Chain A
Amino acid sequence: MANKIVEIHDLKREFQMGSEIVRALKGVSFSVEQGEFVTIMGSSGSGKTTLLNVLGCLDKPTDGTYLLDNVDVKNLSRNELAQLRNRKIGFVFQAYNLLARTSAKENVELPLLYNSTVTTTQRHQMAVKALEAVRLSDRLDHLPNQLSGGQQQRVAIARALVNEPVMILADEATGNLDSRTSYEIMALFQELNKQGRTIVFVTHEPDIASFSSRTITLKDGRVIKDSKNENVRSAKEVLANLPVTEDFEVNAT
């Protein structure tokens, strides 16, 4: 029995909007096991963003339980949630959210600066290792504006990896990229997943979802479909079948 990273039971999230109560999540239940690559799909207004915020410990549910790596987030304070994000979650955003005028390596080091158990030497080593994992070890000192969109997103992925999280949480991580670069990023995610990383990927593109092993579809704050993906596409193969262009980059492994 694989270790359950995420356990959600009857999760509800309500917002008070003036006199009205908006129910963004109306009782969501599912769990994610270690090593899974899950996409969460849904159109806008389906509650997907709210679910992402709760999964990322940025927000707390109004009702129901959420166990992240067997820790119940319900009773945690703001600071404890911050620590949980620091140790257990790696975020990848649509807009990369790298610090401008800061080298790739320093961007990757950022989460470790908020972890007082990591020494300076360890921090440097871990950052280099994470950048190696996304194959950017030759771009350590490049600034974000010297990197392409795909490279910036890979720096962001390295930043998500660096603290050895139990779950990588990607929010429309390919949304700002062209299709070729998107596939490259998905190939990277698939590779990381193969190495045993648990990935939860929020997207509204079915094309992207086809690379994951499981898809959870939300509608109006409820899970309407939760199915294993029988026919997982390999992003690497898709890339190989694309028409060849001059700066084509194939994964060597």
Chain B
Amino acid sequence: MKLFNLLRIALRALQRNKLRAFLTMLGIIIGVGAVIAMVAIGQGSKKSIQDQLSSMGSNMITIRPNSNQTPGGGARLDVSTVQTLTLDDIKAIQNQAQYVSAVSPAVQGRGQAINASMNWPTTMQGVSPDFLTIRNWPLKEGVSFGNEDVNGATKVCLIGQTVVENIFEPGDDPVGKTIRFNRIPFKVIGVLAEKGENAFGQDQDDILLAPYTTVQKRILAIPYIQTIYASAMNSESSEPATQELSQILRSSHKLTNTEQDDFTVRTQAELISTFSSTSQLLTVLLAAIAGISLLVGGIGIMNIMYVSVTERTKEIGLRMSIGARGVDILMQFLIEAIVISITGGVIGVLIGLLASKLITVFLSWPTLVSESSIILSFVVCAITGIFFGYYPAQKASRLDPIEALRYE
């Protein structure tokens, strides 16, 4: 028996009953459409959370000195006064680290920012130009400082939005102006984009950024650095990057195996995993709901196929009398079921894609259609067709031709 002939027979049989075939398909269409759209919503929100996290600098790794534990015990020193991190550490990281894309030293001092008659207490952070990359912090206006500013310890700064609002009149352009911080004049060369509050309610815009050399020499008068900010290549590599950084710093600090780290390396992994698992749960939940509707669609196919077999008993009898074997009848009904489910699947995918688009356009929910969800729905459709089509088809193939011909 040629498969092509069977396909032809099945397709003609479906053609004779277009409306019923379509109604049967509807269950699958809605099921697949729902799977695609729901998973797209789940994935979309996951992606948008991840984007938000990475805009916060989710790959950021923070290294701070650890108050050295003296063997004899005694009072441990405040972290900011521990002087174990140096520019040599930065060089070592730059030369050796493979999982780290950018690294910046940081020193900071509190002070009063003054412009004309207005003043504002704020923090000046001394960093390298890479800091903006690490924090994923774009400039709203102007330019950043470069390595020559770091080398020359020039008195330039980038100004945060909160500081702009407090020491400049509305409408004033801060770029090019000179402000004073702790009585030292700084030329404003750029304005930082607004970043808002961080997760702990701190205003991230209440800041001035300057070359770290400038802050070290002119504000704090210290040779060491207080913090190292680094950025892992991507969110996956933040774990190996952490280990790598520890090793580099241990060897740079010449620590023996028995000595404890005199620094701590922290990532935002905990934050990421919390958000990820939440959105993962959301995706699974939505997919489960959608999967149930696909199951219902499959049962719909089985139901209709059973009815169809009963209704077409006489046709089956005729086909058998003119030479159709049991397996031919089985294949015919199975192919009908598969054609219904696959066609329904294709239409369902299209509707799911359309629905995802509409959700994004009209509800402004982020959606992300993944190829895997399309492939998965397809495979599930085919399996649904085979699984739910098999029993009715088998029933049809086992009919006695004599009985079937006599059936009214």
Indicate which residue in A59, A79, A93, A110 contacts B319 across the interface (CB closer than 8 Å). Answer: A110
Q: Which residues of B contact A93 (CB under 8 A)?
A: 318, 405
Indicate which residue in B16, B317, B325 contacts A82 across the interface (CB closer than 8 Å). Answer: B325
Q: Which residues of B contact A159 (CB under 8 A)?
A: 322
How far is A106 from B9 in the complex, measured between Cα atoms in Å?
10
Q: Which residues of A contact B15 (CB under 8 A)?
A: 101
Q: Which residues of B contact A101 (CB under 8 A)?
A: 15-16
Q: How many A-B residue pairs have CB under 8 A?
A: 68
Known: A58-B402, A97-B318. A102 touches B16 (CB 8 A): yes
Interface string of A43-76 (1 = CB under 8 A from B): 0000000000100101100000000000000000
Q: Which residues of B contact A22 (CB under 8 A)?
A: none
Indicate which residue in A102, A106, A114 contacts B328 across the interface (CB closer than 8 Å). Answer: A114
Q: Report the minimal beta-carbon distance from A237 to chain B, rounded to whole angstroms.
A: 33
Known: A79-B327, A97-B405. A116 touches B5 (CB 8 A): yes
Known: A106-B12, A116-B5. A78 touches B326 (CB 8 A): yes
Indicate which residue in B5, B12, B323 contacts A87 across the interface (CB closer than 8 Å). Answer: B323
Contact present for B402 and A110 (CB under 8 Å): no
A91 within 8 A of B: yes
How far is A91 from B402 in the complex, measured between Cα atoms in Å?
13
How far is A93 from B327 in the complex, measured between Cα atoms in Å?
24
Contact present for B324 and A114 (CB under 8 Å): yes
How far is A193 from B95 in the complex, measured between Cα atoms in Å?
101
Q: Report the minimal beta-carbon distance from A175 to chain B, rounded to whole angstroms.
A: 14
Indicate which residue in B8, B320, B402 contacts A113 across the interface (CB closer than 8 Å). Answer: B8
Contact present for A113 and B325 (CB under 8 Å): no
B129 within 8 A of A: no
B135 within 8 A of A: no
How far is A113 from B326 in the complex, measured between Cα atoms in Å?
15
Interface string of A16-53 (1 = CB under 8 A from B): 00000000000000000000000000000000000001
Q: Which residues of A contact B315 (CB under 8 A)?
A: 99
Q: Which residues of A contact B12 (CB under 8 A)?
A: 102, 106
Describe B's contact surface by its main secondary structure. helix
Indicate which residue in A78, A99, A106 contacts B325 across the interface (CB closer than 8 Å). Answer: A78
Q: Report the minimal beta-carbon distance from A101 to chain B, rounded to whole angstroms.
A: 4
Q: Report the minimal beta-carbon distance from A103 to chain B, rounded to whole angstroms.
A: 10
A85 within 8 A of B: yes
B2 within 8 A of A: yes
Known: A53-B402, A58-B402, A79-B327. A111 touches B322 (CB 8 A): yes
Residue of B nearest to A95 (CB): B314
Q: Which residues of B contact A110 (CB under 8 A)?
A: 319, 322
B1 within 8 A of A: yes
Known: A53-B402, A59-B402, A114-B5. A79 touches B323 (CB 8 A): no
Q: Which residues of B contact A78 (CB under 8 A)?
A: 325-326
Contact present for B321 and A100 (CB under 8 Å): no
A182 within 8 A of B: no
A153 within 8 A of B: no
Known: A53-B402, A97-B314. A114 touches B323 (CB 8 A): yes
Known: A78-B325, A85-B323. A100 touches B16 (CB 8 A): yes
Known: A78-B326, A83-B323. A116 touches B401 (CB 8 A): no
A115 within 8 A of B: yes
How far is A159 from B401 in the complex, measured between Cα atoms in Å?
18
Q: Report the minimal beta-carbon distance from B225 to chain A, rounded to whole angstroms.
A: 82
Q: Which residues of A contact B318 (CB under 8 A)?
A: 93, 97, 99
Q: Report the minimal beta-carbon distance from B10 to chain A, rounded to whole angstroms.
A: 11
A86 within 8 A of B: yes
How far is A82 from B1 in the complex, measured between Cα atoms in Å?
12
How far is A86 from B405 in the complex, measured between Cα atoms in Å?
16
Q: Which residues of A contact B402 (CB under 8 A)?
A: 53, 58-59
Interface string of B362-404 (1 = CB under 8 A from A): 0000000000000000000000000000000000000001100
Interface string of B298-336 (1 = CB under 8 A from A): 000000000000000011011111111111100000000
Q: Report the minimal beta-carbon distance from B77 to chain A, rounded to whole angstroms.
A: 91
Q: Report the minimal beta-carbon distance from B17 to chain A, rounded to whole angstroms.
A: 8
Q: Report the minimal beta-carbon distance from A60 to chain B, rounded to whole angstroms.
A: 11
Contact present for B325 and A83 (CB under 8 Å): yes
Contact present for A58 and B322 (CB under 8 Å): no
Interface string of A191-212 (1 = CB under 8 A from B): 0000000000000000000000
Contact present for A82 and B5 (CB under 8 Å): no
How far is A139 from B16 in the complex, measured between Cα atoms in Å?
19
Known: A78-B326, A82-B323, A101-B16. A114 touches B401 (CB 8 A): no
How far is A101 from B262 in the complex, measured between Cα atoms in Å?
86
Interface string of B1-45 (1 = CB under 8 A from A): 110010011001001100000000000000000000000000000
- Interface-central residue, B315, B325, B327, by most chain A CB under 10 Å: B325
24 A-B residue pairings within 8 Å (CB atoms): A56-B321, A58-B320, A58-B321, A78-B325, A79-B327, A82-B323, A82-B324, A82-B325, A85-B320, A85-B321, A91-B321, A97-B314, A100-B16, A101-B15, A106-B12, A110-B322, A111-B322, A111-B323, A114-B5, A114-B322, A114-B324, A116-B1, A163-B322, A163-B323
Closest 4 CB pairs of A and B: A86-B323, A82-B325, A111-B322, A101-B16
B residues sitting closer than 8 Å to A (CB atoms) are 1-2, 5, 8-9, 12, 15-16, 314-315, 317-328, 401-402, 405
